[in-house]
Amino acid sequence: MNLTNQMANQIAVNIDFDDASKEWHKNKKSIGNSQYKYICTIITNKSQICNKVCYKNSETCWIHRNSNPTHK
């Protein structure tokens, strides 16, 4: 198989990097110097995302660490 046939068989990839970046930042908070920390995404009683920094290696903050999570 020559190079022309190999290129014709490739699949086109269309990635929206702006949207991908927006989605990646949804559950993170900037702590400066291009560093990020994960945020708690538990839905509070006021129907809002908690947005506190996650506790150690948990998916939730200190307040919600023992709760039954409802993530957005």
Taking only the tens place, the pLDDT of each residue in 22-70 is 999 999 999 999 999 999 989 988 999 899 999 888 888 999 888 765 5
AA letter at 64:
H
Asked, for residue 48, whether it belongs to a domain, the answer is: yes
> Domains in the chain: how many in total?
1
Question: Is the residue at 2 inside a domain?
Answer: no
Q: Which residue range forms the structural domain that includes residue 51? A: 27-72
| 18: in domain | no
Kindly report the pTM of this predicted structure. 0.62
User: Is residue 5 a part of any domain in this protein?
Assistant: no
Does residue 62 form part of some domain? yes
Instruction: Give the side-chain half-sphere CA count within 13 A for 34.
Output: 0
* DSSP state string for 23-39: HHHTTEEEEETTEEEEB
